[in-house]
Structure 1
Amino acid sequence: MQQETIARPWIDQYPADIPETIEYDEHTLHHYLKKAATEVPKKSLLEFMGKEMSYQEVYDAALRFANGLQKLGVKKGDRVAIMLANTPQSVISYYGILMAGGIIVQTNPLYMERELEHQMIDSGATVMICLDLVYPKVQNVRDKTALEHVIVTRIKDYLPFPKNVIYPFIQKKNTGMDVKVDFDAHNHDFVRFIQSNRSLEMNVYIDPKEDLALLQYTGGTTGVAKGVMLTHYNLVANTTQCIRWMHKIDHGNEVILGALPFFHVYGMTVGMNFSVMDRSKLVILPKFDTTQTLKAIQKQKVTIFPGAPTMYIGLLNDKNVEKFDLSSINICISGSAPLPLEVQQQFESKTGGKLSEGFGLTEASPVTHFNLMWGKRPQGSIGLPWPDTDVSIVSAETGEQAKPGEVGELIIRGPQIMRGYWNRPEETAATLQNGWLYTGDMGYMDEEGYFYIVDRKKDMIIAGGFNIYPREIEEVLFEHPAIMEAVAIGIPDPYRGETVKAFIVLKDGAKATEEELNAFCRKQLAAYKVPRSYEFRQELPKTMVGKVLRRALQEEEKERMTS
């Protein structure tokens, strides 16, 4: 695929305020926090359950954190893991790691030990910042990894009085856990860690275009979790593209809802990094709860709501939604899963704002396409490519560029595209070819340059915005002594978009129940990956060479649901 062969009809659809190309700053991500703290120090950056922190306060805490990391021996290029829910601590840790020259490894707090162990071994992380609730899991895998230091924090640490006093009792009641940590030379209390260090300016030289900011783990096209290498420049470019695409926003005065998890690259870019770069206010929610979200939108007068379709569906179906004023919402940025038209229409009617759908993937920081906020939005389209983002549809057979309307594989090139997969040169070479990212998604472009996804070349399941890889579920099921064969597929779900169903063939004479398999999976997989249903069969449909016909099972399910 050569550059001169690429037609860009989408440029003609751009409003006058959106440029065809952007001049990107060659700065580090943390440069923007420092600049804002210098120029608007008292302006509120974070709001967390009643507590507010200014740009200066967050910057000062991040500097102290960075100094502390250097005392622990963290050097440029060292990997530091964050295993936190959305909290001020997650923002402070994120920017502090970057200031110290470290590479962030974002880790889902829902991970079970086997998932956590793989990620820590693969990344070689030497320091972990985690919540007290997940500390036992970290301890259980620690000896198998390179982790030398664990910095532990609690939700209550950044709550205002009296919530900070009450919350531990609520947490214990809800979780049944009261975790005790023995703090020593290798286990550190987050608050004391910051308080015991000075806010000295860092002097770590970082080349934004070459040096990594982040290892974001994804199953990619194979299901084996691997680290996507994203540079400071990749993330700065994608955040800049996002800000410029939202061309009618009130720069510096927006209130952004931080309900999407920051450990997911989507929430990180369109929530956290967007807020800091635009000098807007970020309202943080530690988890998505419809009641708390409605209260936050009304009280904080949220203007920008990045989310997933399941969030909008959840709010619309909350029995008390009519009691809340959501009219402050101006923009809703939807991603992670297809957005149903009726959800878009109902949410826009309820808020008076615009809800548009985009598309992206971890390997692209993550956004590559978006529908216009104030303009044409064809039904079912993922929208137009962002500025400086070349997109082509190529034939899966010949590799030649497809004509408008013809289905092929979506390939992408732009400043937001990853450097490759961490320590996986062969997979990098297969996915990145001549500067193009081969996405594995099948789609087409219409005559005007709008893109549509019709299928996935890979078998990934997207449930509630989470990427789920069948192979990982199948590997867990195969460990059960009664199972001979297992295959996991995604089936349509009106709320989550897709949900996981497992087909099981038992060994001769063996017995197992759905309840038993569910309990078995819950011990080894994050809750969102656990199959919601199981079907026991005598045999599975296969090809002549013995490969399970996953597509045949999916077609059976579709027919069953429509009949």
Structure 2
Amino acid sequence: MFRSTVAKAPASPLLAYFDEVLSAADVDRVSDALAVGLAEGGFTHGDRLALYTQNVPQYVVALLAAWKLGGIAVAINPMLTPREIAKLIADSTPSTFLSLRELYSEELAGTLAASSVRRVITTSALDFQTSGDTRVLPTGRIPTPAGTEDLKTLVAQHDGGVPDPVEIGTEDVAVITYTSGTTGAPKGAMNTHRNVATGGTAYRDWFRLDSGDVVLGVAPLFHVTGLSGHIAAAIAARAALVLSYRFDVGVTVDMIRRYRTTFTVGAITVFIALANSAEVTADALSSLTKIASGGAPIPAATVDRFESQFGVYVHNVYGMTETTSPALSVPMEARAPVGTETEALSVGVPVLSAEVRVVDEAGAAVPVGQLGELAVRGPQVVGGYWRNEAETAAAIRNGWLLTGDVGYVDDDGWYYLVDRKKDMIVASGYKVWPREVEDVLYSCDAVLEAGVVGLPDPYRGETVKAYVSLREGFSVQPQELIDFCRARMAAYKYPREVEIVDVIPKTATGKILRRSLRTRSES
């Protein structure tokens, strides 16, 4: 798909980052040079390249460089701590690790030194732009850390070089994208080249994107939405992708104005933030005529408010890491109906090649209007999880992916989400496994027992709340436990609320009754 874009429109803008614009040919040349540099260090077909950056051009360049060598990218959330990263590295065993210098630390260096990683390449967030805008960027340049190589220097050394051609199959793994497993252990969804191409094409065709469009990159690139809805969609449509390190209202509005962006897809929290900002006017967003939001059901009032302010309708999209993003979406010309079982809008109808049905515990389709688990089949569905046959067998049966989401379909073919089959929490579009938060709390000497649940939140969708009982003789304040978790977990994971209780409710077999905890919070 990328080769086709370069061949047919080499001069067309492909990446924009603050004041810098790279054409398709520029990106091809830089990724070629990086690929040659990687190959010189022994990187070859099937090797893994871990990517630990914010939304910067280097992410896209490195992704393409790995693919040109037949390699696999490992997408790592830049909010993860070295402790969390160690688990992903142990699972995916990458040989090479690319990190923003602003994210690199002595602790991370130690983690990588004790892992499969043989080569560390670092890069600056200030590269690939000359504006000096530091509103979201760290101020000043950080020297290349000891024991690492500078990406720009590596590219310069091999500028003009072209890697030896390799044969890549549609079923070869393109990216290992991590999601949470039923035990809280990381699961690496194997998004193949066919999956990624299907996801990008689905966004392109569903939202009618072409070379006249400009994609606003508000979703994280490490996330499957950023992979399919930004990178792959832009390449498929031969449209420019605008990046600005991370989401910030002021910077985002400036990028919209500067590049006249036309399409974006992101968590509903992005659009709530824009709607709540006094500096964002309808004129500022006038070019943004195609908007999609996924990650969680959207209340009708939120969409209505955004449309009344800015004159554009937010289209719901439903997908997950295992479906390489879109499986259901509201069509461009349609408006989502409100469900009868929930106040949220429908998540849409099946996109293009996707098949979706609602099934019972045995996997049989249930009647229209009846609750069941959503199952998806199609070329966007992954073949399984990296080196995890048990989780693969549990999630994918006869080609159908069991999503774990409970919902129903109405007489007109609209799908609705009602609840999650499991206890996964979705905060600002990110999935949080309660057990992982509980494990961190249990590492505190004062904690006897902990139960974590997700509670409704008007901005984040859900927020993480922990109930904690204390060991005898210990005294600790809720804020201390919040701070304890915050120091050990990604920002979206740590509990925003902690309530100390005498006893955590459990079943007769000792399992925590999260349902009782949620009921307690709602009463």
Which bin holds the TM-score, normalised by the shorter protein? over 0.9
Alignment match, 2:342 = none
**1:310 Cα deviation from its structure 2 partner:** 0.3
**Deviation of the 1:77 alpha carbon:** 0.4
- Matched with 2:508 is 544
Q: Conserved in 1, the CA contact under 8 Å of 2:13 and 2:22?
A: yes
Alignment of 1:356-371 (within 5 A): 356-371=315-330
Match of 2:347 in 1: 382
- Measured in 2, the distance between the counterparts of 1:463 and 1:334 equals 14
Q: Deviations over 1:39-75 (max 9, x none)?
A: 2222111111111111111110011111111011011
Q: Pick the aligned partner of 1:126 from 92, 95, 99.
A: 95
- Determine which structure has greater relative contact order: mean sequence separation of CA pairs < 8 Å that are 6+ residues apart, divided by chain length: 1
- Asked if 2 retains the 8 angstrom alpha-carbon contact of 1:294 and 1:324, the reply is no
Given the alignment, which residue of 141, 145, 152 partners 2:115?
Answer: 145
Q: Report if the CA contact (8 A) 2:124-2:142 is conserved.
A: no
- Residue in 1 aligned with 2:295? 336
Give deviations 1:489-548, integer Å, cap 9, x for gaps.
111111101111000011111122223212221221011111001000111122122211
Deviation by residue 1:215-261 (Cα, 9 ceiling, x = unmatched): 001104442111111110111112112222123x4x11101101111
Query: What SS does the corresponding residue of 1:528 show, helix, strand or coil?
Result: coil
CA distance in 1, matches of 2:410, 2:163: 49
- Looking at structure 2, the residues matched to 374 and 272 of structure 1 have their Cα atoms a distance apart, in angstroms, of 24
* 2:144 alignment counterpart: 181
Whether 1:282 and 2:241 are equivalent positions in the alignment is: yes
Aligned twin of 1:246: 207
Cα offset, 1:169, TM superposition: 12
Q: Find the aligned partners of 2:119 and 2:36 in 1 and give their Cα distance.
A: 15
Distance across 1 between alignment mates of 2:385 and 2:282: 47
Select 1:349's aligned residue among 293, 308, 319.
308
Percentage of pairs with the same residue: 34
Q: Distance in 1 between matches of 2:230 and 2:151?
A: 23
Asked if the contact 1:121/1:144 (under 8 Å) is kept, the reply is no
Shift of 1:349: 3.0
Letter in 1 for 2:474: A
Q: Does 1:89 align with 2:58?
A: yes
Q: Give 1:512's aligned residue.
A: 476
Matches of 2:337 and 2:181, distance apart in 1 = 28
**Are 1:68 and 2:29 counterparts?**
no
Q: Structure 1: how far apart are the matches of 2:137 and 2:329?
A: 40
Q: Which of 424, 442, 456 lines up with 1:478 in the alignment?
A: 442
8 Å CA contact 1:254, 1:304 repeated in 2 = yes
Question: Cα 1:65–1:287, aligned 2, differ >3 Å: closer, same or farther?
Answer: same
Match 2:157 to one of 174, 183, 196: 196
- What is the distance in 2 between the residues matched to 1:443 and 1:171? 43
Q: Runs of 4+ in structure 1 displaced over 6 angstroms?
A: none
For residue 133 of structure 1, give the secondary structure of its aligned residue in structure 2: coil
Using a 3 Å threshold, how does the CA distance of structure 1 residues 522 and 316 change in structure 2: closer, same or farther?
A: same
Q: Is 1:155 paired with 2:122?
A: no
Residue deviations 1:71-98 (CA, integer Å, cap 9, x gap): 1101100011000111111111111111
Secondary structure, aligned partner of 1:259: coil
Q: Conserved in 2, the CA contact under 8 Å of 1:113 and 1:524?
A: no
User: Does 1:529 pair with 2:493?
Assistant: yes
Displacement, 1:376?
4.1
Is the counterpart of residue 417 in structure 1 residue 381 in structure 2?
Answer: yes
Shift of 1:473: 0.6
Contact 1:369 1:383 in 2 (8 A): yes
AA aligned to 2:110 is: N
- Work out the CA distance in 2 between the residues paired with 1:234 and 1:99: 17
Q: Offset of 1:354 from its aligned partner?
A: 3.1
Change (3 A) 1:168 1:278: closer
Partner Cα distance (1:183, 1:381) in 2: 52
Shift of 1:335: 0.6
Question: Quick check: 1:226 aligned with 2:187?
Answer: yes
Q: Take 2:12 and 2:137, find their aligned partners in 1: how far apart are those partners?
A: 32
Over aligned residue pairs, what C-alpha RMSD do you find?
A: 1.8
CA distance in 2, matches of 1:384, 1:482: 49
Tell me, what secondary structure is at the counterpart of 2:328?
Answer: strand
The 5 Å alignment of 1:42-57 reads 42-57=11-26
Q: Residue 281 of structure 2: SS of its match in structure 1?
A: helix
**Any gaps of 5 or more consecutive residues in structure 2?**
339-344
One-letter identity of the residue aligned with 1:56:
A
- Using the TM superposition, give the Cα deviation of residue 193 of structure 1 relative to its aligned residue in structure 2, in angstroms: 0.7
2:428 corresponding residue in structure 1 = 464
Kept in 1, the 8 Å contact 2:225–2:266? The answer is no
Deviates more, 1:512-521 or 1:96-105: 512-521
Residues 167-200 of structure 1 deviation map (CA, whole Å, 9 limit, x = unaligned): 5997248xxxx7543455xx21010010011444
Which residue of structure 2 lines up, in the alignment, with residue 211 of structure 1?
Answer: 172
Which stretch has the larger CA shift, 539-548 or 344-353? 344-353
Partner of 1:24: none
Identify the residue that residue 109 of structure 1 maps to in structure 2.
78
Q: Deviation per CA, 1:416-472, whole angstroms, max 9, x where unpaired?
A: 111111111111111111111111111111111111111111111111111111111
Please, what TM-score do these two structures have when normalized by structure 1? 0.88
Instruction: Specify the alignment match of 2:368 in structure 1.
Output: 404
2:68 to 87, 90, 99: 99
Opposite residue 138 of structure 2, the aligned amino acid is Q
| Higher mean displacement: 522-531 or 69-78 | 522-531
The answer on whether the counterparts of 2:102 and 2:138 sit within 8 Å (CA) in structure 1 is: no
Aligned mates of 1:445, 1:220 — CA distance in 2: 27
Q: Aligned letter for 1:159?
A: Q
User: 1:171 corresponds to which residue?
Assistant: 138
Give the whole-Å Cα distance in 1 for the aligned partners of 2:258 and 2:177: 33
Cα distance in 2 between the residues matched to 1:170 and 1:83: 16
1:331-371 per-position Cα deviation (integer Å, ceiling 9, x unaligned)? 00111122221221222233333310011110111211001
Whole-Å separation in 1 of the counterparts to 2:165 and 2:504: 56
